[in-house]
Structure formats: structure tokens, C-alpha cells
Amino acid sequence: MKAWICEAFGEAPMLIDCEEPIAQAHQIIIDIAACGVNFADTLILEGKYQKRPTGPFAPGFEIAGTVSAIGTNVQGFTIGDRVMALPDWGGYAGRISVDASLVTGLPENVEFNVAAAFQIAYGTSWFGLKYRANLLPGEVVLVHGAAGGVGLTAVECAKLLGATVIATAGGADKCAIAKAHGADHVIDYKSESIRARVKEICARIGRIGVDLVYDPVGGDVFDQSLRCVASGGRILLIGFASGSVPQIPANILLVKNVAALGFYFGAYLEQNPDIAKAGMAELLELLSSGEISPLVSATYPLINAMEALAAIRNRTATGKLVIRCRE
């Protein structure tokens, strides 16, 4: 079996032959058809992610494929089932062993590439907006990185939840993608001031600021957001793609009665299993019915997985990138 193995944090993964995984108790072996690519893949390789493997590992958090073996004490799955899963790592490979609790059956009308591009991005946005930030119909949401893998799903999910969306992206092409996926207003942060444009847009629609900020970027983007969120509003912290973790001035939170909410999707699922089950069922229904549709902008064979990672690092990718782990 081929897999991209990282021997130590900070070292580049190498595509090598590995031993086949064996299904232990409570585990399922999945022949991986596709693996989604995420910014977090770059972080775990550098040892900067929330969870860290203790030995050599393959990156890859979201997969789709076919059940090829089932361990003892596993119920509800049979060999040949089409499934998707959220392992802690190991997706850049031809096969993986996964705890059965992390595996979900896949509707027949959902392609493997789509399923691999769906779980983390849409899960982060749907659970973050609906369950963590309690987004309500009629509220105004500012979505940053709106043409990226996570930001684009936030635009779609916010619209499904009845919000007005102001989206920021870098460049006219990326702004057009956000607009095409439902954004009501777009801001090109490369040529416009986020703070000034948000205030202008809000004034035009009769608001004094946005009700909710969805921020996967951090850094200066967060600083500008803090100054254009309405009093009593919320800022949902998804990640720090800029590489800069903001130091929040608590006096502004106090004076404006603003809440800063952290949201780490993986931990949220573990801490809220009942919400996790209900929310994933909602998302699968939206996916199966076509109400949400992941933008898979490019696919790569397993041998070229590092090219996909480079596109994520360089921020040249739009939508989601997917690795085809077996042809």
C-alpha cells in the first residue's frame, strides 16, 4: 500500500510502501477512493495542529471510500458499503483503519470526490454558524476567506440559515466565486479596506455593523472585524490562515458587548455527540438533495498530493482540492 509518510514534524512527507492496516476491535478498514485537502494538513505536518501524532504518519483528515474489512464489535456496516470518515490523520494513502464511530454511510447519489470535499468544510461552517454562533434569520454575517475551502461553505450555509452575507476575498476572480455562491455583497481585501467597506454596506442596508463575523484568517483581518462588528455581535474564530494569532483587546469586547467564540470542529463533535449526529444528518440531506454542492476545483492523483498541498500553502486554490487515492 502506498502512503505519504511524514517521519518527523517539519520534514516533507515521502510516498512509500507501507504495511496493510488490520481491523482491530471497533475498527473498519476503508479502501480510500478520495481524500480532501485542508489547510490543517500543512499545520499537522509542522507539528502546529491541535492533535499531534506520536510517530510517523500520513496527513489527511477527511476521506471517502469502500469498506473492505470489519473488526469485532462493529455493527451497522458491511463489506462493500460506501462510506465517508473523519480520521485524526492517515488519509493520504490507499487504505486506512478507522474507529467505526468516525464512519458515516454515504448516499448512493453522492460521488466519492464530493464526499471527501464535504465533511470538514461544510461541517465547520454548518456547526459553527448554526450551533456554536446561533445564527438567526435576518442577521448580517461577514465571511472572510470566502473563496477558500471553508469560507465558501460559510457563504452557502449562512444563506441557507437566512442571513445576509458580506464576503471578503482576494482579487476579482475570487470575489466573483463568492458572489456566484450566494454572497449578497463582496469586498476585495487586496484593493479595499474591509472596515470601511463593511461600514458603507451596513449603512446602505440600515445597519450599524455586522451581527456575526466568520473568521478563518486571523491577523489584521480580525483586527478590522472587531471594529465593524455591531454592539452585541459575535466573532466566530475558525482558524488563523494568515499565520498570525490575534491578541484580542478585551476592552473593545467589553465596551461593545462583543463575544469572541472559538470553534474547533473536531473537538466540538467529540464534546457534543448528540448535536454531531443531528447536524451531520442535516448536512447529508442537504448534500443528497443538491441544496449544497461542494466546489471541487481540482483533483490530484495520490502521486501528486504534494502539489495539492503547495496550492493550499500558496493560497492559489479556490474551493476544495481532492486527492484521488486509487484510480
- Owning domain of residue 31: 2-118+294-324
In a domain, 276, yes or no: no
Interval 35-42 mean pLDDT:
93
pLDDT score at 207: 94
* CA distance linking residue 11 with residue 57, whole number of Å: 11
Ramachandran assignment for 232, one of left (phi > 0), alpha (psi -120 to 50 degrees), beta (any other): left
In a domain, 221, yes or no: yes
* CA distance linking residue 70 with residue 87, whole number of Å: 16
Interval 58-85 mean pLDDT:
95
Query: Which residue do the cell numbers 500520513 mark?
Result: 58
Q: What is the CATH number of the domain that holds 62?
A: 3.90.180.10
In 3D space, the residue among 98, 100, 96, 102 whose CA is nearest the CA of residue 123 turns out to be 102
* DSSP annotation of 184: S
* CA distance linking residue 104 with residue 83, whole number of Å: 6
What is the length of the chain? 327
Question: How many CA within 13 A on the CB side of residue 247?
Answer: 0
135 and 255 housed in the same domain: yes
In a domain, 279, yes or no: no
pLDDT score at 152: 92
Q: What is the CATH number of the domain that holds 222?
A: 3.40.50.720
**Domain finish residue from 264, 286, 304:** 264
253 and 312 housed in the same domain: no
134 and 255 housed in the same domain: yes
Give the tens place of pLDDT for each residue, 211-224.
999 999 999 999 99
pLDDT score at 235: 97
pLDDT score at 92: 98
* CA distance linking residue 260 with residue 128, whole number of Å: 13
* CA distance linking residue 133 with residue 139, whole number of Å: 12
DSSP 43-100: HHHTT-SSS--SS-B---S-EEEEEEEE-TT--S--TT-EEEE--SS--SBSEEEEEG
183 and 201 housed in the same domain: yes
- Angle at the Cα of 155 (from 152 to 156), degrees rounded to 5? 95
pLDDT score at 299: 96
Give the tens place of pLDDT for each residue, 134-186.
999 999 999 999 988 899 999 999 999 999 999 999 999 999 999 999 999 99
The three cell numbers locating residue 27: 475498527
In a domain, 80, yes or no: yes
160 and 260 housed in the same domain: yes
127 and 113 housed in the same domain: no
The three cell numbers locating residue 150: 471553508
Give the tens place of pLDDT for each residue, 265-324.
988 988 998 898 899 889 999 998 989 888 899 999 999 999 999 999 888 887 789 999
Handedness of CA 248, 251, 254, 257 (dihedral sign): negative
In the chain, how many domains are there?
Answer: 2
Q: What phi and psi, each to the nearest 5 degrees, are found at residue 248?
A: -75, 125
46 and 152 housed in the same domain: no
46 and 164 housed in the same domain: no
Interval 233-246 mean pLDDT:
90
Interval 116-144 mean pLDDT:
96
Interval 54-62 mean pLDDT:
95
Kindly tell me if the per-residue pLDDT of 93 is higher than 90: yes
239 and 190 housed in the same domain: yes
250 and 128 housed in the same domain: yes
The three cell numbers locating residue 60: 489527511
Q: What phi and psi, each to the nearest 5 degrees, are found at residue 288?
A: -65, -35
In a domain, 213, yes or no: yes
168 and 207 housed in the same domain: yes
pLDDT score at 314: 87
Count other Cβ atoms within 10 Å, centred on residue 14: 12
146 and 214 housed in the same domain: yes
In a domain, 269, yes or no: no
Output Rg (C-alpha) for the chain, integer angstroms.
Answer: 20
**Confidence bin at 236 (pLDDT 50/70/90):** very high
* CA distance linking residue 212 with residue 144, whole number of Å: 11
Query: Which residue do the cell numbers 442535516 mark?
Result: 282
**Domain finish residue from 226, 248, 264:** 264
H/E stretch holding 32: strand 27-37
Kindly tell me if the per-residue pLDDT of 327 is higher than 80: no
